[in-house]
Structures are given as structure tokens and as C-alpha cells.
């Protein structure tokens, strides 16, 4: 935290504007050295030429913004240089900053990490920011934005506050049971509070993993015999040539995945090897992988060419009859729980996409606006609930209090209140430089 860091904080590549951020105790000094002027008024953009400190050569005309601590993203002194987004300009500014004493390039996620260490964000908000940066659909954006704005923080810290208050009553009963101002058997009064809290956590956990599935996307596996039209359907839904299409059986040997946005929800479409018995060891491996991937998918589209016996369906399998263009008079679309389509003519494809988008919406949406989004949250909440259950079963108040402390500690680990140093590298590992 004592070092001053800098990085390009906007996207790379030619652009109208690029943002270079500097954070740390030398940020103000950096502005003066590059502009030759006094610091601008806080949070007011000032136009100034940026000069290379060693040569004095003008690098670019820049809008300079100054955010003195603690009213900044990182809680430190922060300066931003809004320059033209050409690669040469950005490289020139970064090279100039690299010549200044006490400055170094930022590591991935280091600006956000400093914001967390300064108390500007907790870990759930940090994770929400990461999800917002990586959001590809509207549903992902909405969920990430709610988390970044603190909806999970409010929920988990509210539970933790209630638990600590109940713990205080138990400890008062232990330490001051003979005092007149402590009600008798006050610990008995907190049992109802613990049971209520445990029930709320259980309800929160019973969400069908919608939050995690929304982050990662639903998976739809396209399965069927060779030459059923699997790769053709994948290309049609992706609207580009992703998989090789051939009349030769066994063309698809490995699993091909395509990420789609269906009705604002993320869906990964998976093309698999044709399901058949084969002596070819390479194709046989592809078939084995296809079966395993299909088994793990949220939905399977089982393709059968028109004229063959359609697939047997279940709750996670949708029968799709392909190549209906080969038979005149066949109506495309949903009939008797089966979809009839032709990739060649496009018949039935729009209806299939609408059906998949509706399925994704039902699978991922819910009335609850606060959803679990990460497996580590789930593990911590399960640990908290286990300790609450143990506390209710304890005949000894001291042991009851200890289980309550462990439950509160599990909640605190979600937001970063306690004992999370070992988590930080993992959480910030996937951030990009400049964030």
C-alpha cells in the first residue's frame, strides 16, 4: 500500500479515449511532474499537455482528474489521465510514468484490492465488480450490479449483527448471572432468534443454485446419432460456422462449445460426437466424452432425422426432429412435445430459440432478488448453519457461545470481516490489470 501504482484502466486497442490511473501517495506529485502545473481542483477535469519527464517532449493533450484521499476508489490519492486512445499515446504515457521514482505498474486487480483494504468495498462487492466486468448478458449485468451495490453485504452483515447480539446475551448470562440487571436465563430467549436465523439461511441456500448458474451460464448439449444434424444446428443457432458439417459419419470427434445470449440469459451450447458404437479409438473417446458432457448438461436436445423413431424425452431432454424439409407437408415447430425443424430452410428454428430462451428464463429467474453467486458463499453459509444447529443442541452455555462465535465467523468470512487473507489472492487472481 505504500507504493504508488499505475496502469491503463480502460480497454486496450485503438479508441477515442483511454484512461490511465495512478494511485498512491505520489499520485499528486506525478500530476505535477507530467503537466508542470499545480494540482487541479478535486473531481474537476482540467485540460493539460502531458510531457515526458526526462525530455520535456509533449506526449498528448489530456484531461486530468484529481481525487484526493480518502474520497477515491482506492481510498488513496488517485490521479487519472484521460488521453487519446491510440497505442502510441498510451505507451508513451505508461513509459513516462515508469521513469518516475516510487512508481511501478499495477498488478492484476490491485486497484480493487486497495479499495477492499481501505474499507471501500467488501469481498462480495469486489466479486460483484468482477462479475460486472465479465457480464455478457442483461441478466448477468443486473445480478452483478445488485451485488456490487451491496445487496449481499446488507443481508449477510444483517445476519451477523443479529447473531452477535444474541451471542452477547448468552455471554451476559454466563458472566453476570448473579447480577440483578441481567434477566434470568436470558440465553433461553435467544434460542428462538437462532432458530429463526437458521431458517432464513436455509431458505437462502435452497435457491436451486440460480445465482451460480446465472454467473456461469446454463448448458445445453446437442446429442444424437451421427449425421442427425447436430453440427448444422449448432452453426445455425450460433449464426456462424463453428463446427465442421459433413455427411461423413463421425466428423465431430471432440466437444465444441459456443456461448449464446438467449433472451438476456447466458447459455453454453455444446456440440457432441455422434452417439454410436465404433471401433475407432479416437471417435470412441469422443462418444464417451459426449455421453459424460450430456449427462452433466442442464438440458439435452436429442436430434433425430425425420423418418426415424424420435428420442425418448424426460425432464432434461427435448426431442428435436431434424431434416423435415425432406418430407413435404410436414409442419415445423412444436408438436406433441417434439420440435420439428429444418436447418436448411430455417423452418422451426425461431420457435426453438424462443422455447430455449423461455426455458432459460424460468430456470434462472426467481422472485428473490438476493441470490447466492459463488460456491464459497454457499460453503460459508452451510458452515454457519451447522454451527447454529450445534449451538442449539449444546447443554452448556459456554459451548453454546463458542458455536455461535464460529457461526458469526463463517458469516464474516463471506464479506471479508475476519480471517480472509488466504482468500485474497484467489479472488483477485482473475481481475485484469487496471481494475
Name 79's bridge partners: 22, 66
Residue 115 belongs to a domain? no
Distance CA 168, CA 148 (A): 31
The secondary structure of the chain in percent helix, strand, coil, rounded to multiples of 5, reads: 45, 20, 40
Task: State the distance between the two ends of the chain, measured CA to CA, in whole angstroms.
Answer: 15
Residue 260 belongs to a domain? yes
| Same-domain check for residues 357 and 222 | yes
Last residue of a domain, one of 331, 364, 397: 364
φ, ψ for residue 152, nearest 5 deg? -70, -40
Q: Are 157 and 412 in contact (CB under 8 A)?
A: no
Q: Are 143 and 215 in contact (CB under 8 A)?
A: yes
Distance CA 435, CA 425 (A): 15
Residue count of the chain = 435
| Same-domain check for residues 33 and 170 | no
What is the span of the domain harbouring residue 87?
Answer: 4-106
- DSSP type of residue 326: G
Closest of 75, 15, 22 to residue 50, by C-alpha: 22
| Same-domain check for residues 356 and 218 | yes
Residue 369 belongs to a domain? no
Closest of 43, 14, 46, 16 to residue 32, by C-alpha: 46
| Confidence at residue 413, expressed as pLDDT on a 0 to 100 scale | 92
| Confidence at residue 368, expressed as pLDDT on a 0 to 100 scale | 54
Residue 433 belongs to a domain? no
Mean pLDDT by 10 residues, the chain (435 residues): 88 89 95 93 95 91 96 95 94 94 92 92 91 87 90 92 87 66 59 91 87 85 84 83 48 67 85 58 61 80 85 83 82 84 88 89 71 90 95 86 92 84 72 78
| Same-domain check for residues 321 and 353 | yes
CA dihedral 203, 206, 209, 214 (to 10 degrees): -40
Q: Are 165 and 187 in contact (CB under 8 A)?
A: no
| Same-domain check for residues 255 and 390 | no
| Same-domain check for residues 101 and 160 | no
CATH label of the domain that carries residue 17: 3.30.1360.120
Q: Are 231 and 243 in contact (CB under 8 A)?
A: yes
**DSSP per-residue string spanning 47-107:** EEEEE-TTT--EEEEEEEEEE-TTSSSSSS-EEEEEE---HHHHHHHHHHHHTSTTEEEPP
Residue 160 belongs to a domain? yes
Residue 8 belongs to a domain? yes
Total domains present in the chain: 3
| Same-domain check for residues 318 and 382 | no
CATH label of the domain that carries residue 397: 1.20.120.430
| Same-domain check for residues 349 and 420 | no
Residue 421 belongs to a domain? yes
- Count, in order, helices (H) and strands (E) of the chain: 14, 13
Residue whose C-alpha cell reads 460486472 in the numeric block: 132
Q: Are 298 and 209 in contact (CB under 8 A)?
A: no
Q: Are 197 and 159 in contact (CB under 8 A)?
A: yes
| Confidence at residue 243, expressed as pLDDT on a 0 to 100 scale | 47
| Same-domain check for residues 303 and 412 | no
| Confidence at residue 248, expressed as pLDDT on a 0 to 100 scale | 42
Burial (CB < 10 A; 0-12, 13-18, 19+), residue 424, is middle
Q: Are 157 and 124 in contact (CB under 8 A)?
A: no
Peptide bond into 70 cis (omega under 30): yes
φ, ψ for residue 370, nearest 5 deg? -110, 105
Distance CA 303, CA 305 (A): 7
**DSSP per-residue string spanning 16-42:** S-EEEEEESTTHHHHHHHHHSSPPPPT
Q: Are 66 and 39 in contact (CB under 8 A)?
A: yes
| Same-domain check for residues 133 and 181 | yes
| Same-domain check for residues 218 and 192 | no
Q: Are 305 and 322 in contact (CB under 8 A)?
A: yes
Last residue of a domain, one of 313, 334, 364: 364
List C-alpha distances in Å: 196 to 75, 190, 192, 388, 403: 38, 10, 6, 10, 16
Residue 117 belongs to a domain? no
| Same-domain check for residues 228 and 296 | yes
CATH label of the domain that carries residue 244: 3.40.50.300
3-state secondary structure of 199: helix
Amino acid at each position: 500500500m505504500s507504493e504508488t501504482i499505475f496502469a491503463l484502466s480502460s480497454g486496450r486497442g485503438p479508441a477515442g479515449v483511454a484512461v490511465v490511473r495512478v494511485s498512491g501517495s505520489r499520485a499528486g506529485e506525478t500530476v505535477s511532474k507530467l503537466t508542470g502545473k499545480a494540482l487541479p481542483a478535486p473531481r474537476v477535469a482540467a485540460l493539460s499537455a502531458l510531457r515526458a519527464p526526462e525530455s520535456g517532449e509533449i506526449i498528448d493533450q489530456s484531461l486530468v482528474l484529481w481525487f484526493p484521499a480518502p474520497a477515491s476508489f482506492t481510498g488513496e490519492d488517485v490521479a487519472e489521465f484521460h488521453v487519446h486512445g491510440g497505442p502510441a499515446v498510451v505507451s508513451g504515457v505508461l513509459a513516462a510514468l515508469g521513469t518516475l521514482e516510487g512508481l511501478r505498474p499495477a498488478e492484476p486487480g490491485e486497484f480493487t484490492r486497495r479499495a477492499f483494504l481501505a474499507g471501500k468495498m467488501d469481498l462480495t462487492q469486489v466479486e460483484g465488480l468482477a462479475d460486472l466486468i465479465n457480464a455478457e448478458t442483461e441478466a448477468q449485468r443486473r445480478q452483478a450490479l445488485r451485488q456490487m451495490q451491496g445487496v449481499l453485504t446488507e443481508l449477510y452483515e444483517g445476519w451477523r449483527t443479529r447473531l452477535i447480539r444474541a451471542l452477547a446475551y448468552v455471554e451476559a448470562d454466563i458472566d453476570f448471572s448473579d447480577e440483578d440487571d441481567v434477566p434470568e436465563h436470558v440465553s433461553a430467549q435467544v434460542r428462538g432468534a437462532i432458530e429463526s436465523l437458521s431458517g432464513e439461511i436455509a431458505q437462502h441456500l435452497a435457491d436451486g443454485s440460480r445465482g451460480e448458474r446465472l454467473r456461469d451460464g446454463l448448458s445445453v448439449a446437442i446429442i444424437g446419432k451421427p449425421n442427425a444434424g447436430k453440427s448444422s444446428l449448432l452453426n445455425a443457432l450460433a449464426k456462424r460456422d463453428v463446427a465442421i458439417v459433413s455427411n461423413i459419419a463421425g466428423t465431430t470427434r471432440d466437444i465444441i462449445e459456443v456461448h449464446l445470449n438467449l433472451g438476456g440469459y447466458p447459455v453454453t451450447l455444446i456440440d457432441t460426437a455422434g452417439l454410436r458404437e465404433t471401433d475407432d479409438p479416437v471417435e470412441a473417446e469422443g462418444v464417451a466424452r459426449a455421453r459424460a458432457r450430456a449427462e452433466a448438461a442442464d438440458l439435452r436436445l436429442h436430434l433425430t432425422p425425420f423418418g426415424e423413431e424420435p428420442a425418448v424425452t424426460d425432464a432434461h431432454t427435448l426431442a428435436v426432429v431434424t431434416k423435415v424439409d425432406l418430407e413435404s407437408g410436414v409442419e415445423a415447430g412444436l408438436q406433441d412435445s417434439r420440435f420439428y425443424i429444418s436447418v436448411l430452410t430455417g423452418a422451426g428454428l425461431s420457435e426453438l430459440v424462443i422455447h430455449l430462451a423461455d426455458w432459460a428464463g424460468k430456470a434462472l429467474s426467481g422472485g428473490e432478488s438476493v441470490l447466492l453467486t459463488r460456491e464459497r458463499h454457499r460453503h460459508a453459509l452451510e458452515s454457519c448453519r451447522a454451527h447454529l444447529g450445534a449451538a442449539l443442541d449444546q447443554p452448556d452455555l459456554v459451548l453454546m457461545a463458542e458455536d455461535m462465535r464460529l457461526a458469526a465467523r463463517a458469516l464474516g468470512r463471506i464479506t471479508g470481516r475476519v480471517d480472509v487473507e488466504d482468500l485474497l489472492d484467489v479472488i483477485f487472481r482473475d481481475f485484469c490489470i487496471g481494475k
